[in-house]
Structure 1
Amino acid sequence: MELALSSFLLPFLLLVLTGALSILVTLWDKKKNLPPSPGWALPLIGHLHLIRKQPHRSLQALSKKYGPIMFLKLGMVPSIIVSSPEMAKEALTNNGLAFASRPYLLVSEIIGYNFQNIGIHYSEHSRRLRKMCVTELIAPQKLDSSLWVRLQELSRAFRILQQSYEEKVAVDMRYLFSTFTFNAFTMILMSKRYFGDTTDDHDQHMELKHVINEIFSLTIKFHITEFVPSHLRRFFEWVDPTIPQFKRLHEKQDKFMKKIIEEHKESTDRPKDFMDALLESFDAEATVKAFITELLLASDSTAVAAEWVMAQLLHNPHVLEKAQLELNLVVGPNRLVQESDFSKLEYFQAIIKETLRLCPPGPLLIPRSSDVACTIGGYYVPKGSTLFVNAFAIGRDPSIWERPTEFMPERFLGRSVDFKGQHFDLIPFGSGRRMCPGMPLALKALELLLANFVHGFYWSFPPGEIQTLEDCFETTLVLKSPLKLLAVPRHSASVYAEI
């Protein structure tokens, strides 16, 4: 009985002392000109009670009241939220080195093989991995050499659309986009398709996609250990129910990754792929497993962006009509869209920019953590603060954008604004040292897929059905219901067979 009582009292006293310490730290920091805040943080949970299921919208609403830079306590972790291009630039560029690290994430510790992926700290290890992306994935010659993969997956997507047309059934666009992007990435990374219609060992191959989906589902859950200071984390692990779930999932992940690595070591009569390059460059196989998993997780945002583009086009038929007119003029009716056409498709490029402005797949850029104390907008930012950049709020700020909630690709015509990290009113891929390293590869896949879908087919909702544009937050910003559309070929069968 005494042992059970002491087992309860010790954690309880720890929580009380930690809460008291948190209040004292907040009082001390308040003397240092912190950014505006929604008042006193509650013991232990801080301001978490102000964040709803749609955190990007909750933080947008708070920023309208407290300004473009705010201070919140998320649990016991000090957090800075910026919601304007000026504050984002100051945080990500002027203070880029201070915010070069990531905050602690449970998924990075367990699924990332104890931070063997690009990871938390900005270090020689993370720089080597980013350099691998540049030289082995997104260098111009590498992008060109992987074109056949994108065309192969495009051909498979066309066959699915043709079959749906013949059977007069709607296509699940989310599944189609996810199949395209996931298989394109696995082919480039590991020389295998793992998801979709016909593969060898179908059930086994589907398992990898299921594991990735499970990681996503678990990542968005509440993890107690992510909201306490690092020196207290081990005391809270025993009450975090997601840790055992992550460990069980990690066993599945590791089993699959071991098999893939062994296959690569045994197979020497094929062209080298990205995994081969990693195995040659890193002695620790854990690094290879962690980084490949990280890149596969990132592939989902490309599919999400593609679904948003198609949803916006169906809700704005005049935009779809203008896009098809431009494609008719540039490409013509007798061939498919090629990557060399992209630079001539100004309106189509504007559609992608407008979609990423209005519906960024990552509405809150991947958070960063301050390694040192610094200042943003004249306000003091404590060391160890988590930085959130609300790209969703920036993209809908009426002081920046005319009629910000309307889908108007024309706003980008004649402007040099792009999303490569230099224009802070449009930063869906981030900016600075921790900008998304796979952006060029993702854009190649997105543009090729969407341009040919728009050029190759007439699109409509199933009779009597018009899907809303309501969104929900699931690590990425997705449509609440998967998009389902009817496709009718615009060209002769010989055009689609040219791939």
Structure 2
Amino acid sequence: MSLENKMDFLSCILWLCLIWILIKTFHMIPRSNATHSKLPPGPKPFPVIGNLLELGEKPHKSLSKLAKAHGPIMSLKLGKVTTIVISSADIAKEVLQTHDRLLADRTIPDAIRVYNNEEYSLAWIPISARWRNLRKICSGELFANRILNANEDIRHKKVQELLAETHQCGLTGEAVDIGKAAFKTTLNLLSNTIFSVDLAGKDSDKTGALKELIWNVMKEAANPNLADFFPVLKKVDPQGIRRRMAGHTRVILGLFDGMINQRLQLRKLSGSITDSDFLDILLGISEEKSEEMNKTTILHLLRDLFVAGTDTTSATLEWAMAELLHNPETLSKAKTELEQVIGKGNPMVESDIARLPYLQAVVKETFRLHPVAPLLLPRKAEADVEINGYIIPKGAQVLVNAWAIGRDPSSWEKANSFMPERFLGSEIDFKGRNFELIPFGGGRRICPGLPLAMRMLHLMLGSLIHKFDWKLEEGVKCEDMNMEDKFALTLQLAHPLRVVPIPL
């Protein structure tokens, strides 16, 4: 079947679905406008489908454009789902801090519900005893400073392996796929911390396949899904999103299930149990408190850690490198700072990060322009919440457009320009207290992996620009670089960044 025929077939299916929805929902049209009169302003919805057609392929950009016309707190009707979109730092503070208690639960996309993920995933389960327990384990046993300090040698080793492979490419004039190289490094860092093994070895095809697998999970979770907008379609799965997500999830959970079973057998054979890595810690907790931590919970927690912790870090590093190559003067300033602070030829270590304010500014500016989760994760109102005189009604979905907030001209001078200098001497940080820069979210739902991501990002980026000069492939000029993005739960470069390293 040709691509054109496939598109025609899909269009017919979608129209049939919409006709069915029209029949099913006609009798449910609201008869009272009492609550709706207090909704934030927004574009006029079409009958039945609402504002779905206005989302486009890149919702972070289309919603930002709509907000310029309708305001920083805006309402849309996405099928049957009332959605409130936040596009300014002041309103984001109301959502993520002032009213965090009532707006901290999640709207669960249908794609997330495969393998009961919504009941076990730290990212999606409601604020509850289980959620608090999982957060406590992650914060205390994986991302605490004492744990990160103890594991510094692992990160240093993995970054040195990255530099060695990059150096080899430099000797042969081969271009480096920055996103794939960063993904491999981050994946192996996590897998060594959790399992004491490399998940991505020298086989680049395996690394690419794992990267593609995790990207597909992110893509399916973010894909506009008719089953989310019209609940009567959940059983039909008209776009096949849940089916595809189930396939990706089955592969990931199967991989981790095999590793857990191997470890359980090893623990039985050895006769002694030591907390040598994170998996041992989880299994130890499971043996002591099986009601809090069983194998299913462990599997879903590992899935969360690898899906959220690899693609996000590698995508941000790729954006940072792309912006530096696109802005050679900025790259030169970063290299000069590294040479002055560390010394030419000396390796960068984590303790150097605090002495590199310009490198820190580069990372912040990358987060501002290219937040790893452009719409964060969707929240849901537990009750009616009043903000700025408008009502966010109970059950409404709430989207915080971190991409739009990072480019808001009322908060940022030359908002669309890459200017790390804006952060020099500034108190603005990305730890959830400054709402004009919220790549990790805020409030109780802020990403627990932030401390590890910060160490890895600065160490990898600083090491790559300190050890090598870089040139674009095939004579491409920096001003001609393609800086377009592609949308999923994580925001990535539409075209992978491939650059040739020149060893210094």
* TM-score strictly above 0.5: yes
Judging changes above 3 Å, is the alpha-carbon distance between structure 1 residues 206 and 112 closer, same or farther for their aligned structure 2 residues?
A: farther
Q: Using the alignment, how far apart are the partners of 1:447 and 1:336 within structure 2?
A: 13
Size of the aligned set, in residue pairs, is 473
1:445 alignment partner in structure 2: 456
Q: Does 1:487 align with 2:481?
A: no
Q: Pick one of 284, 294, 297 that aligns with 2:304.
A: 294
Q: Pick one of 63, 68, 86 that aligns with 1:64.
A: 68
1:100-157, Cα deviation, whole Å (9 max, x unpaired): 1111123432155452111231111111111111101111111112212211211211
Question: Is the Cα contact below 8 Å between 1:173 and 1:482 reproduced in 2?
Answer: yes
Q: Using the alignment, how far apart are the partners of 2:377 and 2:259 within structure 1?
A: 28
1:144 alignment partner in structure 2: 149
Counterparts of residues 168-247 of structure 1 (less than 5 Å): 168-197=173-202, 211-228=213-230, 232=232, 236-237=235-236, 239=238, 241-247=240-246
Q: Pick one of 470, 475, 480 that aligns with 2:489.
A: 475
Q: Quote how far apart the aligned CAs of 1:210 are.
A: 5.2
Give, as a single letter, the amino acid of the residue that structure 2 aligns with 1:109. Answer: R
Question: Is the Cα contact below 8 Å between 1:112 and 1:290 reproduced in 2?
Answer: no
Judging changes above 3 Å, is the alpha-carbon distance between structure 1 residues 16 and 70 closer, same or farther for their aligned structure 2 residues?
A: same
Q: Does 1:126 align with 2:93?
A: no
1:307-338, Cα deviation, whole Å (9 max, x unpaired): 01100110111111111111111111241111
Q: Quote how far apart the aligned CAs of 1:18 are.
A: 2.1
Counterparts of residues 338-353 of structure 1 (less than 5 Å): 338-353=349-364
1:209-259, Cα deviation, whole Å (9 max, x unpaired): 554344234333343332235xx575x445452233333334333322221
Judging changes above 3 Å, is the alpha-carbon distance between structure 1 residues 404 and 251 closer, same or farther for their aligned structure 2 residues?
A: closer
Deviates more, 1:247-256 or 1:425-434: 247-256
Give, as a single letter, the amino acid of the residue that structure 2 aligns with 1:432. Answer: G
Question: Is the Cα contact below 8 Å between 1:48 and 1:74 reproduced in 2?
Answer: yes
Question: Is the Cα contact below 8 Å between 2:227 and 2:237 reproduced in 1?
Answer: no
Q: Quote how far apart the aligned CAs of 1:487 are.
A: 1.0
2:12 alignment partner in structure 1: none
Q: Using the alignment, how far apart are the partners of 1:427 and 1:335 within structure 2?
A: 33
Structure 2 SS opposite 1:18 = helix
Question: Is the Cα contact below 8 Å between 2:374 and 2:489 reproduced in 1?
Answer: no
Give, as a single letter, the amino acid of the residue that structure 1 aligns with 2:252. Answer: Q
Q: Using the alignment, how far apart are the partners of 1:394 and 1:461 within structure 2?
A: 31
What runs of 5+ residues in structure 2 fail to find an aligned partner?
1-15
Q: Does 1:461 align with 2:461?
A: no
Give, as a single letter, the amino acid of the residue that structure 1 aligns with 2:197. Answer: K
Q: Using the alignment, how far apart are the partners of 1:209 and 1:487 within structure 2?
A: 22
Judging changes above 3 Å, is the alpha-carbon distance between structure 1 residues 353 and 112 closer, same or farther for their aligned structure 2 residues?
A: farther
Q: Using the alignment, how far apart are the partners of 2:501 and 2:32 within structure 1?
A: 57
Superposed CA RMSD in Å reads: 2.3
1:249 alignment partner in structure 2: 248
Question: Is the Cα contact below 8 Å between 2:469 and 2:503 reproduced in 1?
Answer: yes
Q: Using the alignment, how far apart are the partners of 1:392 and 1:426 within structure 2?
A: 9
Structure 2 SS opposite 1:419 = coil
Q: Does 1:381 align with 2:392?
A: yes
Structure 2 SS opposite 1:476 = coil
2:409 alignment partner in structure 1: 398
Structure 2 SS opposite 1:78 = strand
Q: Quote how far apart the aligned CAs of 1:375 are.
A: 1.1
2:114 alignment partner in structure 1: 110
Deviates more, 1:68-77 or 1:470-479: 470-479
Counterparts of residues 415-426 of structure 1 (less than 5 Å): 415-426=426-437
1:365 alignment partner in structure 2: 376
Counterparts of residues 301-320 of structure 1 (less than 5 Å): 301-320=312-331
Q: Quote how far apart the aligned CAs of 1:457 are.
A: 1.0
Q: Pick one of 96, 101, 104 that aligns with 2:105.
A: 101
1:409 alignment partner in structure 2: 420
Q: Using the alignment, how far apart are the partners of 2:360 and 2:406 within structure 1?
A: 17
Q: Quote how far apart the aligned CAs of 1:41 are.
A: 4.2
Counterparts of residues 277-288 of structure 1 (less than 5 Å): 277-282=281-286, 283=290, 284-288=294-298
Deviates more, 1:239-248 or 1:76-85: 239-248
2:40 alignment partner in structure 1: 35
Judging changes above 3 Å, is the alpha-carbon distance between structure 1 residues 259 and 477 closer, same or farther for their aligned structure 2 residues?
A: same
Q: Using the alignment, how far apart are the partners of 1:226 and 1:455 within structure 2?
A: 47
Judging changes above 3 Å, is the alpha-carbon distance between structure 1 residues 340 and 27 closer, same or farther for their aligned structure 2 residues?
A: same
Q: Which aligned runs of 4 or more in structure 1 are off by greater than 6 angstroms?
A: 9-14
Judging changes above 3 Å, is the alpha-carbon distance between structure 1 residues 14 and 312 closer, same or farther for their aligned structure 2 residues?
A: closer
Question: Is the Cα contact below 8 Å between 1:371 and 1:384 reproduced in 2?
Answer: yes
1:80 alignment partner in structure 2: 84
Give, as a single letter, the amino acid of the residue that structure 2 aligns with 1:74. Answer: L
1:18 alignment partner in structure 2: 25
Q: Quote how far apart the aligned CAs of 1:195 are.
A: 1.6
Deviates more, 1:417-426 or 1:471-480: 471-480
Give, as a single letter, the amino acid of the residue that structure 2 aligns with 1:228. Answer: F
1:4 alignment partner in structure 2: none
Judging changes above 3 Å, is the alpha-carbon distance between structure 1 residues 15 and 188 closer, same or farther for their aligned structure 2 residues?
A: farther
The TM-score, its normalising length taken from structure 1, stands at 0.89
What runs of 5+ residues in structure 1 fail to find an aligned partner?
1-8, 491-499
Question: Is the Cα contact below 8 Å between 2:402 and 2:437 reproduced in 1?
Answer: yes
1:262 alignment partner in structure 2: 261
Question: Is the Cα contact below 8 Å between 1:195 and 1:206 reproduced in 2?
Answer: no
Structure 1 SS opposite 2:487 = strand
1:149-172, Cα deviation, whole Å (9 max, x unpaired): 211211211121111111112111
Q: Using the alignment, how far apart are the partners of 1:169 and 1:294 within structure 2?
A: 34
Judging changes above 3 Å, is the alpha-carbon distance between structure 1 residues 131 and 243 closer, same or farther for their aligned structure 2 residues?
A: same
The TM-score, its normalising length taken from structure 2, stands at 0.88
2:158 alignment partner in structure 1: 153
Q: Using the alignment, how far apart are the partners of 1:60 and 1:405 within structure 2?
A: 13
